[in-house]
Amino acid sequence: MKIIFFLFLFLSLTQPDAVFGQGNDREWPAYGGDPGGMRHAALSHITPDNVNQLKVAWTYRTGELEYYRNNDAAEKAAFEATPLMVEGVLYLSTPSNRVIALDAVSGAEKWTFDPKVNLKEDYSEITSRGVSTWPGPDVVGNNLERRIYLATIDGRMISLSAATGKPISDFGKKGTIDLRKGIGPISVTSPPAIIGNTLITGTSMGDNQRLNYERGVVRAYDVLTGKLKWSWDPIPRAAGDPARATWIGKKAAQTGAANAWSILSVDPERDLVFIPTTSPSPDYYGGERIGKNEYANSIVALRASTGELVWHFQTVHHDLWDYDNAAQPALINVERNGLKLPAVAVGTKMGHIFILHRETGKPLFRVEERPVPRSEVPGEQAYPTQPFPILPRPVGPQHISVADAWGLTEVEREIAENRIASLRNEGPFTPPSLQGTMVTPSNAGGVHWGGVTYDPERKLLITNINRLVAVVRLIPREKLKEEEGKNEALLRAETGLQEGTPYVLKRDYLFARNESGLQMQTKPPWGTLLAIDMNSGELKWEVPLGFMYDPQTYPEAVNWGSINFGGALTTAGGLTFVAASLDGFFRAFDTETGELLWQNQLPASGQSTPMSYQIDKKQYVVISAGGHGKLGTPLGDYVVAYALE
């Protein structure tokens, strides 16, 4: 046994850090740069010393806004795509799922493909975070043409020729797989993962309107033919599955979702795919699914070739807070006791960052189960404990009190105090209640879908987070109209019908709405960028990210941070690039210190994640800038590339 253990440690120690790119042209062949989603460019042409010379190299407009005429798409649209760059060509997708190929040096359009998605359907959101390409670096001896894979919000998987943008006729049926067949009206908002000749995809769906949502299955297809290879359901249905005992109740088998809507990561050397699963439906009431609900709200490692379960680690037991695993799991190497170990870094909405061994799922930094508050809602049984990482320490606010109330005026601060005092508020994992509960952090993070990036030279894990508090209230179904009649704020709050349960959800946030926009009710900062030293697990620095109030009127607003969506990019040159904030700036920070070194106003806000590549010794940094309908930022249709003059 000891021999096996030391052999395992030796093999782990000798595994190299993941790198991407070949020859003189440094590419960005996957959503996260490499298949494991480190989002790090091993490029050093742009540095802290010269980043202030960064200028716009080219701008491309997708024409997307024309597609929002005569429908309500603009209210739900967000340009969240991260382009790929392989063989001198950029490939990206728009919110309406059009695919565009651009010359990576000039930004000139090479081709476009329109899948003709019906934007009048009732989608939860209208977005696409990007496309995938095959063959990958782990495919040897292939002489077939390069392909681009698009997953759509109307539930299709499409294979395109990278050269022409035309569908590959021998994939599925004339280039398309119907992902809704046998499942129901699911969407896909993230690019599929590709490992060898296997294409793996999760699904997206709304999850607050009813109990019996569609199954959140993860499916794998042959990359050439589109033939189904395997499927895996995050809600255990088989009688022999030991996790099934953690789903209790007559309606437990009707539960849907627990789907993986975010980015999947793959480890080709280990034949593993890492699945970030989400909350079962509905998000805020689990009385029909009492128990731990294993596989939901988990990081699940599957054998990529077969779909066999290898290990799982649950980040939230019996989710009642919409604490989806929204971030792509980042495959990194960390050093513990002098050994380099393969790890999975998991950033969560709760502000918890779990560092797990990639081959076993065991925490590499200590995690402990702690008691959490009980539910007072009839029919509900909140799980008595939750996992808390000791290191890295939770990021973002973990508890808000009346002392944290904030307002621009004394009257506004008092209104915030009274609101906070009226809510159930017992710290992390306080369950939803009939009186109203503060959920800290909110379902928007903590760490959100923007995820984490890892600088392997500096051993720093970088992430941007929200410091936003949600307010949730459950209302007995028969009393909904009566309660809305008493409280005008309930009418404005988001409604989740949660059909199949006794309660309707009302969700809002700790801000007020007035003529000037959002009035935040908790102390700033409301969004930050931070770095964690992966050798020690300790926070190295944290700085405000962006602003939400006009600095000309409120000079201190530059220190207040902004609600943000979209991720960061690190480079070997020692820079961290990030947009994400509501103010519409694209920024570069010193990765070592967090110092802001450069910023540039985008033509529309960049609720997306940037990427970088190098051609002919020139490094480019590219970001999609199209705004966000649900956040209320002005929409645009820009792809902007930056380079040194």
pLDDT tens figures, 269-327: 999 999 999 999 999 999 999 999 999 999 999 999 999 999 999 999 999 999 999 99
SS3 assignment, position 618: strand
* Mean pLDDT, rounded, for 516-534: 94
**Phi and psi torsions of 444, nearest 5°:** -95, 5
DSSP assignment of 246-280 equals G-BSTTGGG--B----S--EEEGGGTEEEEE--PB
Check whether 378 has a pLDDT greater than 70: yes
Check whether 493 has a pLDDT greater than 60: yes
C-alpha angle 400-406-409 in degrees, rounded to nearest 5: 165
Which of these, 125, 100, 129, 107, lies nearest to 32 by C-alpha position?
129
Residue 76 is predicted with a pLDDT of: 96
User: What is the Cα 218 distance to its own chain's centre?
Assistant: 17
What does the CA dihedral 487, 488, 493, 494 come to, rounded to 10 degrees?
A: 90
d(C-alpha 111, C-alpha 74), whole Å: 24
Domains belonging to the chain, first-starting first, are 30-644 (2.140.10.10)
* Mean pLDDT, rounded, for 618-643: 97
In this structure, are residues 329 and 37 in contact, taking their beta carbons and an 8 Å threshold? Answer: yes
Q: pLDDT digit string (tens) for 393-406?
A: 999 999 999 999 99
Kindly list the distances between the CA atom of residue 543 and the CA atoms of 24, 407, 462, in Å, as whole numbers in the listed order: 35, 21, 11
Instruction: Give the pLDDT band of residue 516 (cuts 50, 70, 90).
Output: low
101/337: higher pLDDT: 101
3-state DSSP: the chain helix, strand, coil percent, rounded to 5? 10, 35, 50
d(C-alpha 440, C-alpha 66), whole Å: 39
Check whether 497 has a pLDDT greater than 90: yes
End-to-end alpha carbon distance in the chain: 59
Residue 243 is predicted with a pLDDT of: 97
d(C-alpha 75, C-alpha 395), whole Å: 31
In this structure, are residues 597 and 48 in contact, taking their beta carbons and an 8 Å threshold? Answer: yes
* Mean pLDDT, rounded, for 410-430: 97
Which of these, 398, 537, 558, lies nearest to 465 by C-alpha position?
398
Residue 265 is predicted with a pLDDT of: 98
Residue 25 is predicted with a pLDDT of: 52
Kindly list the distances between the CA atom of residue 561 and the CA atoms of 171, 205, 523, 602, in Å, as whole numbers in the listed order: 47, 30, 11, 17
In this structure, are residues 614 and 26 in contact, taking their beta carbons and an 8 Å threshold? Answer: yes
Residue 24 is predicted with a pLDDT of: 36
d(C-alpha 244, C-alpha 298), whole Å: 15
Residue 212 is predicted with a pLDDT of: 95
Burial class (CB in 10 A: 0-12, 13-18, 19+), 645: exposed
3-state secondary structure 114-157: CCCCCCCCCCCCEECCCCEEECCCCCCCCCCCCEEEEECCCCEE
SS3 assignment, position 4: helix
Which of these, 320, 307, 225, lies nearest to 264 by C-alpha position?
307
Instruction: Give the pLDDT band of residue 206 (cuts 50, 70, 90).
Output: confident
Residue count (the chain): 645
Residue 395 is predicted with a pLDDT of: 98
**Averaged pLDDT of the chain:** 94
Model confidence, pTM: 0.95
Check whether 15 has a pLDDT greater than 60: no
* Mean pLDDT, rounded, for 48-52: 98
d(C-alpha 312, C-alpha 324), whole Å: 15
Residue 645 is predicted with a pLDDT of: 87
Check whether 14 has a pLDDT greater than 60: no
492/476: higher pLDDT: 476
Q: Which residues are catalytic?
A: 322
Which of these, 160, 167, 131, 130, lies nearest to 146 by C-alpha position?
160
In this structure, are residues 534 and 460 in contact, taking their beta carbons and an 8 Å threshold? Answer: yes
Check whether 613 has a pLDDT greater than 90: yes
Check whether 567 has a pLDDT greater than 80: yes
Instruction: Give the pLDDT band of residue 18 (cuts 50, 70, 90).
Output: very low
Give the single-character DSSP code of 282: S
d(C-alpha 546, C-alpha 586), whole Å: 9
* Mean pLDDT, rounded, for 213-222: 97
Instruction: Give the pLDDT band of residue 8 (cuts 50, 70, 90).
Output: very low
d(C-alpha 180, C-alpha 159), whole Å: 17
Residue 10 is predicted with a pLDDT of: 29
* Mean pLDDT, rounded, for 220-242: 96
Percent of the chain with pLDDT over 70: 96
CB neighbours of 379 closer than 8 A, spacing ≥ 6?
285, 287, 502
Tell how strand 585-590 and strand 575-578 pair up: antiparallel
**In which residue are the tokens 């970001």 written?**
623
Structure tokens at 36: 């494991």
* Mean pLDDT, rounded, for 12-24: 38
* Mean pLDDT, rounded, for 495-502: 96
Amino acid type, 198: T
d(C-alpha 365, C-alpha 356), whole Å: 8
Residue 12 is predicted with a pLDDT of: 36
Percent of the chain with pLDDT over 90: 91
Kindly list the distances between the CA atom of residue 486 and the CA atoms of 435, 467, 644, in Å, as whole numbers in the listed order: 14, 30, 59
Which of these, 283, 262, 285, 93, lies nearest to 206 by C-alpha position?
283
* Mean pLDDT, rounded, for 80-104: 98
73/143: higher pLDDT: 73
Q: pLDDT digit string (tens) for 577-589?
A: 999 999 999 999 9
Burial class (CB in 10 A: 0-12, 13-18, 19+), 16: exposed
